[in-house]
């Protein structure tokens, strides 16, 4: 189940406003991709084109070489999980899952039942009467149990409390290990979700400003920790992202790679060097200009 997504100069306009501008990127095969961006960055717009909900204004988007819009074969391979409005839904949880299982060829009903128990969902209750967090758990159950080769979770955790989100993250990783596929997760809960990602994409104001493997992104910067004075001296010429102080100790996140000699110098001065967090990088790269 290895799929490939390619976008070339992909743009989307709503009337005269660009929601996405000239996106170029490739997603190759299995893995968990984090699509990260602030409110209004264009995440849902991008994902809805992947899910065949709308067509690009210009540029091209292909999934396995084919245009997804109104393409039944491709749409079958993609499952788009988002915060659905269930106001008009008449099914209960059990009926809804049964209905989904009929048109999702890889749907695993046993696994869906297991997730329903784990999320403590009441099978016989109508979906429209569930709380927002429980509806989100139903959506996630559908997304995981459908095992579509491309599974998209668009801020699917919305409304879930922290323990429920934890179950979602655990199951996501276990499912990916059992049945590897392409999963795309949009979020702005960066620090909570960064451990899930194999690759990250930052969208900012409709533009793709970064696409990297997770490990590579976090090595773009360094956390320098040690006695405040020594840290200040070491980072004074560097681009600083964030500073934390604890007593006489200080930790400063810097952006940009360090040379071997700089690393040796830091270690010789008793400074500790570590990776930066994705969250710090995200905040820095999407900061509003004053
Ligand atoms: N149906 C629409 N009509 C007009 N403008 C829209 C429409 N949908 C989205 N937009 C605009 O397109 C831009 C991108 O919106 P989008 O919903 O894709 O962002 P997002 O990154 O998913 O945001 P959030 O994290 O807040 O959900 C925003 O400026 C938004 O106002």
pLDDT, tens digit, for every residue of 168-183? 999 999 999 999 999 9
Q: Based on the domain organization, do 213 and 225 belong to the same domain? A: no
Q: Give the integer Cα–Cα distance in Å for 42 and 249.
A: 40
Residue 149 in domain: yes
pLDDT, tens digit, for every residue of 39-72? 999 999 999 999 999 999 999 999 999 999 999 9
- Comparing 79-83, 188-192, 229-233, the range with the smallest average pLDDT is 188-192
Q: Based on the domain organization, do 207 and 230 belong to the same domain? A: no
Q: State the pLDDT at residue 1.
A: 65
Q: Which atom of ligand 1 is nearest to the CA of 38?
A: 25
- Count of domains observed in the chain: 2
Residue 173 in domain: yes
- Which residue from 16, 19, 189 has its CB within 8 A of the most atoms of ligand 1, so it is best to mutate? 19
Rg (the chain; Cα; Å):
22
pLDDT, tens digit, for every residue of 109-125? 999 999 999 999 999 99
Task: Tell me what ipTM this predicted complex has.
Answer: 0.97
Q: Based on the domain organization, do 143 and 92 belong to the same domain? A: yes
What pTM value is reported for the model? 0.90
Q: Which residue has its alpha carbon closest to ligand 1 atom 31? A: 40
Q: Is the CB of 14 under 6 A from ligand 1?
A: yes
The arithmetic mean of pLDDT across residues 13-37, rounded, is: 95
Residue 203 alpha carbon to ligand 1 centre in Å: 12
- Whether 273 has a pLDDT exceeding 60, the answer reads yes
Residue 19 alpha carbon to ligand 1 centre in Å: 7
% of the chain with per-residue pLDDT over 70: 99
Res. 289 pLDDT band, cuts 50 70 90: low
Residue 158 alpha carbon to ligand 1 centre in Å: 16
Q: Which residue has its alpha carbon closest to ligand 1 atom 18? A: 42
Residue 290 in domain: no
Domain range for 117 is 4-217
Q: Based on the domain organization, do 10 and 80 belong to the same domain? A: yes
pLDDT, tens digit, for every residue of 247-268? 899 999 998 888 999 999 999 9
Res. 275 pLDDT band, cuts 50 70 90: confident
Q: Based on the domain organization, do 274 and 211 belong to the same domain? A: no
Which residues face 88 on adjacent strands?
A: none
Q: Based on the domain organization, do 116 and 234 belong to the same domain? A: no
Residue 25 alpha carbon to ligand 1 centre in Å: 20
Q: Based on the domain organization, do 55 and 134 belong to the same domain? A: yes
Per-residue H/E/C for the chain: CCCEEEEEEEEEEECCEEEEEEEEEEEECCEEEEEECCCCCCHHHHHHHHCCCCCCCEEEEEECCECCCCCHHHHHHEEEECCCCCCCCCCEHHHHHHHHHHHCCCCCHHHHHHHHHHCCCCCCCEHHHCCHHHHHHHHHHHHHHHCCCEEEEECCCCCCCHHHHHHHHHHHHHHHHHCCCEEEEEECCHHHHHHHCCEEEEEECCEEEEEEEHHHHHCCEEEEEEEHHHHHHHHCCCEEEEEEEECCEEEEEEECCCCHHHHHHHHHCCCEEEECCHHHHHHHHCCCCC
Q: State the pLDDT at residue 255.
A: 86
Q: Based on the domain organization, do 256 and 168 belong to the same domain? A: no
Among candidate residues 121, 122, 197, 194, the one with its CA nearest the CA of residue 160: 121
Q: Based on the domain organization, do 15 and 76 belong to the same domain? A: yes
Q: Based on the domain organization, do 96 and 228 belong to the same domain? A: no
Q: Is the CB of 41 under 6 A from ligand 1?
A: yes
Q: State the pLDDT at residue 102.
A: 95
Q: Give the integer Cα–Cα distance in Å for 65 and 57.
A: 19
Q: In what order do the strands lie in the sheet with 272-275?
A: 239-246, 249-255, 221-227, 272-275
């Amino acid at each position: 189940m290895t799929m490939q997504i390619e976008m070339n100069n992909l743009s989307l306009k709503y009337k005269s406003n660009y929601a996405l501008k000239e996106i170029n990127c490739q997603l190759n095969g299995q893995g968990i991709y984090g699509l990260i961006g602030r409110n209004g960055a264009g995440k849902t717009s991008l994902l809805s084109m992947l899910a065949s909900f709308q067509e690009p204004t210009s540029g091209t988007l292909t999934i396995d070489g084919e245009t997804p819009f109104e393409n039944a074969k491709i749409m079958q391979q993609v499952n788009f999980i988002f915060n659905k409005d269930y106001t008009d839904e008449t099914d209960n949880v059990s009926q809804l899952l049964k209905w989904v299982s009929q048109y999702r060829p890889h749907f695993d009903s046993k696994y869906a039942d297991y997730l329903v128990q784990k999320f403590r969902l009441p099978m016989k209750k109508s979906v429209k009467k569930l709380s927002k967090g429980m509806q989100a758990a139903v959506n996630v159950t559908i997304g995981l149990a459908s095992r579509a080769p491309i599974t998209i979770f668009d801020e699917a955790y919305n409304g879930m409390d922290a323990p429920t989100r934890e179950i979602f993250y655990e199951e996501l990783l276990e499912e990916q290990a059992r049945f590897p596929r392409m999963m795309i997760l949009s979020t702005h809960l960066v620090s909570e979700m960064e451990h899930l990602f194999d690759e990250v994409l930052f969208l900012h104001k409709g533009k793709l400003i970064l696409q990297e493997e997770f490990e590579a992104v976090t090595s773009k910067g360094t956390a320098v920790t040690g006695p405040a004075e020594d840290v200040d001296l070491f980072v004074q010429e560097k681009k600083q992202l964030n500073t934390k102080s604890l007593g006489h100790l200080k930790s400063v996140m810097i952006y940009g790679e360090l040379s071997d000699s700089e690393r040796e110098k830091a270690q010789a001065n008793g400074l500790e060097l570590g990776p930066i967090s994705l969250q710090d990088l995200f905040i820095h790269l999407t900061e509003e200009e004053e």
